Chain A
Amino acid sequence: MSTSTKTIQDLTEQEYKYGFVTDIEAETIPRGLNEEIIHLISEKKHEPEFMLEWRLKAYRHWLTMKEPTWHNVHYPPIDYQAIFYYSAPKMKKAPKSLEEVDPELLKTYEKLGIPLAEQKLLAGVAVDAVFDSVSVATTFKEKLAELGIIFCSFSEAVLNHPELVRKYLGSVVPYSDNFFATLNSAVFSDGSFAYIPKGVRCPMELSTYFRINAAETGQFERTLIIAEEGASVSYLEGCTAPIRDTNQLHAAVVELVALNNATIKYSTVQNWYPGDREGKGGIYNFVTKRGRCLGVNSKISWTQVETGSAITWKYPSCILQGDNSVGEFYSVAVTNNYQQADTGTKMIHIGKNTRSTIVTKGISAGHGQNTYRGLVKILKGAANARNYSQCDSLLIGDKCGAHTFPYIEVKNSTSRLEHEASTSKIGEDQIFYCRQRGISTEDAVNLIVNGFCKEVFRELPMEFAVEAQKLLGVSLEGSVG
């Protein structure tokens, strides 16, 4: 046990690797939220009239809403008037190529391990890097444009493709959906937009890195991905944030729309600052992610690795509307120190022969509290719907908690559902077995934890799988004996 205590300490004392602040002149507007601020945000972004109206509608609705309290996370009340709702790095003019981008910004990305220039050449990944609310550089745009794929920042999409934005914005997560999504609808600053035209398979992984930089700036991105008939796309999202003392709010919205025979795969590695050992600071990650399988035979697959954030509140969901559509959710959530996670998914089966799979792995260490909350709902018309859910939890240390709250609601008798959950710790005999073969305790734990998460990791695109394993290592490796 002594080794384990020591390694836990070592780990928890490890400083947040990505904690640094980029000194860059940021253009912000006054704190707080009112209609004027919304007008200001919309004006700064030169948005068309319909966007402003939509924002105002959301804001007015938001005023009538109450912050939810049903979740299993605890935090002091958030003062929504103390937040800066817009912050954009000041630039003289819009950059045309990477060379024109502020070198400070590029350095930030380098520290994060995503050198844009290098990735452009080597990885074949088009990166739409969001630096505090405004998209700075978008690569591979031309290459994608040849195929008719639109991949740009949300603000550009609003200006250049208003008809698409107008058609799909809020079609999956309506402006009135929930407290945080409504707030996002009112004030969202930027995000990513992807449109894959009919029959096109996106030749590369689309990817965004979000980064929260200016202190006390809530980041409210909004992502919209549309896959037309027969299109397919894989999208990666990675997040890191520098150290701050006060908690930062992140209330993002992601909407996915898959038409007939379309496939969308959305992968997230979230590694935001989780707060220090005493649970001070860290990001509040209140995210609404939802995909709608609108067409027949469509498929939406969510994969997430959640290792960061002080509080994670996130339920990537699938509305399986088209017949034969498929929803998947693979998740690894790690909570250490005083982190809290209340995460899971919702699978709403509407169409016939719809299928969904849920595989979640929760790991709690330190004082972490990890909750799986999921809903599987089979509506009346969803004949022959099928669901398989598996939620496993691993507890490391005796001060953490793991909770499971699955809701299963079935209104169709031809459906079949299975739900399984288990909670355990790493077996002494497993460790012993490894030790016996000359593997150190730390490596053994690493091995076992990685094995525990393997089902999820293998769903990640290659680049992410490597990063995810590394992240898991940083957060946990060898924390038990």
Chain B
Amino acid sequence: MTATDHFISEFTRLGRESAAAGPAWLRLAREAAVERFRELGFPTLDDEEWKYTNVAPIARTPFRIGNGFAVRGLTVEELQRVTFGEMDCTHLVFLNGRFAPELSRLRPVPDGVRIMSLAAALVEEPDRLEPHLSRHAQFEDHAFVALNTAFIQDGAFVYLPRRKVLEEPIHLIFVSAPNGSPRVSHPRNLIVAEAGSQAAVVESYVSLGEAAYFTNAVTEVVAGDGAVVDHCKLQRESEQAYHVATLQAHLSRSAHFASHSVSLGGALVRNDVNIVLDAEGVDCVLNGLYLAQGSQHIDNHTFIDHARPHGSSREFYKGVLSGRSHGVFNGKIRVRKDAQKTDAKQTNKNLLLSEEALVDTKPQLEIFADDVRCTHGATIGQLDEDALFYLRSRGLAREDARSLLIHAFASDLISRIPVVPVRTGLECLLMTRLPVGIEHREGI
């Protein structure tokens, strides 16, 4: 049985169990997606979009859908160990992809705002979901989005009516607790921000064990006219975990959207961030930080589609690679024919700390309009010898000097995260997580 067949048979199995679950339009979407997945199969290195990332380890493992079983002894306090302590906000906790109400905490929210699990929303307010769910994240040429769509079951649903402003961030915590056989979860999130509303959403992916499992997440963000949405994604799963995630944002006139993606864990990680600037005057920011060590493989793909005039995008991704890790960055910016006055800027910087670390970067510009300003830059290098010398001449040990410089390199991105508890939490984490200044060779 091929890898693709396995997932398709899982689909039929699940279909029997939860026969006729969800509204009819969703069943159609699921069937179309599984059909598309059957045609696409898992991507190979021959696929331009997967040139540097080999998903064979995912394809050859017979992952089964995890269930939201209770993990013995897992309490809210226990969870705080893997999240950032007490954060004064709404928490939605998902265990192996299913909503866990006993671990979640809902705080009072303004009238009309909905923060709930997708499974509940599919029962209670399917009409609100229909115009958006699976309408933005295209599964036509992305096998993992197709797979996720085929298995839409649960995740978070956030709805902000017109002009509602959420003061507190919303924290979505996806916990994977491996249990014997390899498990897969397909979290599906939908964030709809109507005109003039504002919110910050934090997605955390954590694990409670060291076994191999697979998370295949898709988040769709829809921002109405003038809406302001900040999205943070913190991926700190175990180094045996496989993680594939797609963030798809669709932005309307004068909306402001910021995505902050921090990847720390995972054996094989692939993040896709796709932004469509589908109206005039949209402003978007994409920040990313990836720290890879050991034999981790972290791949970030971003695609910014400037479809209308007067849009601006700022993209800044940084990577720190040590051990035998492999970092991949692929940033595509497309400026369509009518998108005049677009201002796009993209930067990717990589720090290689060991001899065995690899990096492949591919910044792409596709420009069809003439009155635009687009730039991209990519660098790959080591710690600056002069900066090291400067610090050492002031009495710092070489190792300390290295650590300090690496920290400075990474914290540049952390400091851009707008959600304060996350920012401070990450600052602390960075101190422990960053590779210490072990030297692998004289003169580097």
Q: Which residues of A contact B (CB under 8 A)?
A: 70, 393, 395-425
Q: Are A423 and B360 in contact (CB under 8 A)?
A: no
Chain B residues whose CB sits within 8 angstroms of the CB of A408 once the complex forms: 359-362, 378, 380
Q: Are A425 and B371 in contact (CB under 8 A)?
A: yes
User: At the interface, yes or no: B294 with Cβ under 8 Å from chain A?
Assistant: no
Q: Are B367 and A395 in contact (CB under 8 A)?
A: yes
Contacts A404-B365, A407-B362, A408-B380 known; A420 to B375 CB distance under 8 Å? Answer: yes
Name B380's closest neighbour in chain A (CB-CB): A417
Partner of A404, one of B48, B364, B441, B444: B364
A-B contact pairs, 8 of them (CB 8 A): A393-B365, A398-B369, A404-B365, A408-B360, A409-B360, A410-B350, A413-B355, A422-B374
B28–chain A nearest beta-carbon distance, Å = 33
B331–chain A nearest beta-carbon distance, Å = 11
Q: Are A417 and B379 in contact (CB under 8 A)?
A: yes
Q: Are B382 and A411 in contact (CB under 8 A)?
A: no
Name B374's closest neighbour in chain A (CB-CB): A423
Q: Are A405 and B380 in contact (CB under 8 A)?
A: no
Contacts A413-B382, A417-B379 known; A425 to B370 CB distance under 8 Å? Answer: yes
Which of B353, B357, B361 counts the most A-chain CB atoms under 10 A from its CB?
B361
Partner of A410, one of B48, B358, B377, B441: B358
Q: Which chain B residues in 34-72 approach chain A with CB under 8 Å?
A: 48, 52
B220–chain A nearest beta-carbon distance, Å = 28
Partner of A424, one of B52, B373, B379: B373
Partner of A425, one of B350, B360, B372, B376: B372
Q: How many A-B residue pairs have CB under 8 A?
A: 113
What's the Cα separation between A399 and B340 when bound, in Å?
A: 12
Q: Are A419 and B379 in contact (CB under 8 A)?
A: yes
What's the Cα separation between A134 and B417 when bound, in Å?
A: 67
Q: Are B367 and A412 in contact (CB under 8 A)?
A: no
Q: Are B368 and A401 in contact (CB under 8 A)?
A: yes
B300–chain A nearest beta-carbon distance, Å = 14
Q: Are A421 and B362 in contact (CB under 8 A)?
A: no
Which of B52, B365, B378 counts the most A-chain CB atoms under 10 A from its CB?
B365
Contacts A410-B352, A410-B360 known; A419 to B377 CB distance under 8 Å? Answer: yes
Chain B residues whose CB sits within 8 angstroms of the CB of A414 once the complex forms: 355, 382, 441, 444
What's the Cα separation between A396 and B371 when bound, in Å?
A: 9
Name B322's closest neighbour in chain A (CB-CB): A413
Chain A residues whose CB sits within 8 angstroms of the CB of B359 once the complex forms: 408-410
Partner of B367, one of A396, A415, A423: A423
Where chain A touches its partner, the secondary structure class is strand
Where chain B touches its partner, the secondary structure class is strand
Q: Are B378 and A393 in contact (CB under 8 A)?
A: no
Chain B residues whose CB sits within 8 angstroms of the CB of A422 once the complex forms: 373-376
Q: Which residues of B contact A (CB under 8 A)?
A: 48, 52, 337, 340, 350, 352-382, 441, 444
Chain B residues whose CB sits within 8 angstroms of the CB of A417 once the complex forms: 378-381
Chain B residues whose CB sits within 8 angstroms of the CB of A407 once the complex forms: 360, 362
Q: Are B378 and A406 in contact (CB under 8 A)?
A: yes
Q: Are B340 and A398 in contact (CB under 8 A)?
A: yes
Chain A residues whose CB sits within 8 angstroms of the CB of B358 once the complex forms: 409-411
Name B335's closest neighbour in chain A (CB-CB): A423
B298–chain A nearest beta-carbon distance, Å = 15
Chain B residues whose CB sits within 8 angstroms of the CB of A415 once the complex forms: 352, 380-381
Q: Are A70 and B367 in contact (CB under 8 A)?
A: no
A64–chain B nearest beta-carbon distance, Å = 17
Chain B residues whose CB sits within 8 angstroms of the CB of A404 once the complex forms: 363-366, 376
Which of A400, A409, A423 counts the most B-chain CB atoms under 10 A from its CB?
A423
Chain A residues whose CB sits within 8 angstroms of the CB of B382 once the complex forms: 413-414, 416
Q: Are A70 and B372 in contact (CB under 8 A)?
A: no
Contacts A403-B364, A410-B360 known; A420 to B337 CB distance under 8 Å? Answer: no
Chain A residues whose CB sits within 8 angstroms of the CB of B373 once the complex forms: 422-424
Chain A residues whose CB sits within 8 angstroms of the CB of B378 once the complex forms: 406, 408, 417-419
A52–chain B nearest beta-carbon distance, Å = 35
Q: Are A420 and B377 in contact (CB under 8 A)?
A: yes
What's the Cα separation between A418 and B379 when bound, in Å?
A: 4
B305–chain A nearest beta-carbon distance, Å = 14
A58–chain B nearest beta-carbon distance, Å = 25
Which of A408, A415, A418, A420 counts the most B-chain CB atoms under 10 A from its CB?
A408
Name B372's closest neighbour in chain A (CB-CB): A423
Partner of A423, one of B337, B363, B365: B365
Q: Are A416 and B374 in contact (CB under 8 A)?
A: no
Q: Are A412 and B360 in contact (CB under 8 A)?
A: no
What's the Cα separation between A70 and B358 when bound, in Å?
A: 25
Q: Are B377 and A421 in contact (CB under 8 A)?
A: yes
What's the Cα separation between A455 and B361 when bound, in Å?
A: 26
Q: Are A406 and B363 in contact (CB under 8 A)?
A: yes
Q: Are B367 and A398 in contact (CB under 8 A)?
A: no
A413–chain B nearest beta-carbon distance, Å = 4
What's the Cα separation between A414 and B355 when bound, in Å?
A: 7
Q: Are A423 and B380 in contact (CB under 8 A)?
A: no
Contacts A413-B354, A419-B379 known; A395 to B370 CB distance under 8 Å? Answer: yes
Assuming A409-B359, A413-B354, what are 9 further A-B pairs, CB within 8 angstroms? Answer: A397-B370, A398-B371, A400-B370, A404-B365, A404-B376, A408-B361, A409-B52, A410-B352, A410-B358
Name A390's closest neighbour in chain B (CB-CB): B377
A102–chain B nearest beta-carbon distance, Å = 47
Chain B residues whose CB sits within 8 angstroms of the CB of A413 once the complex forms: 352-357, 382, 444
Contacts A403-B366, A413-B353 known; A421 to B360 CB distance under 8 Å? Answer: no
Chain B residues whose CB sits within 8 angstroms of the CB of A410 once the complex forms: 350, 352, 358-360, 380
Name A378's closest neighbour in chain B (CB-CB): B380
Partner of A416, one of B353, B354, B357, B380: B380
What's the Cα separation between A149 and B144 when bound, in Å?
A: 60
What's the Cα separation between A419 and B349 when bound, in Å?
A: 10
What's the Cα separation between A329 and B40 when bound, in Å?
A: 39
Name B346's closest neighbour in chain A (CB-CB): A421
A368–chain B nearest beta-carbon distance, Å = 11
Contacts A70-B48, A410-B352, A421-B363 known; A396 to B375 CB distance under 8 Å? Answer: no
Name B326's closest neighbour in chain A (CB-CB): A411
Chain A residues whose CB sits within 8 angstroms of the CB of B377 once the complex forms: 418-421
Chain B residues whose CB sits within 8 angstroms of the CB of A398 once the complex forms: 337, 340, 369-371
What's the Cα separation between A400 and B355 when bound, in Å?
A: 43
Q: Are B444 and A403 in contact (CB under 8 A)?
A: no
Q: Are A421 and B381 in contact (CB under 8 A)?
A: no
A319–chain B nearest beta-carbon distance, Å = 19
What's the Cα separation between A201 and B379 when bound, in Å?
A: 37
What's the Cα separation between A464 and B129 when bound, in Å?
A: 64
Chain A residues whose CB sits within 8 angstroms of the CB of B380 once the complex forms: 408, 410, 415-417
A109–chain B nearest beta-carbon distance, Å = 39
B339–chain A nearest beta-carbon distance, Å = 10
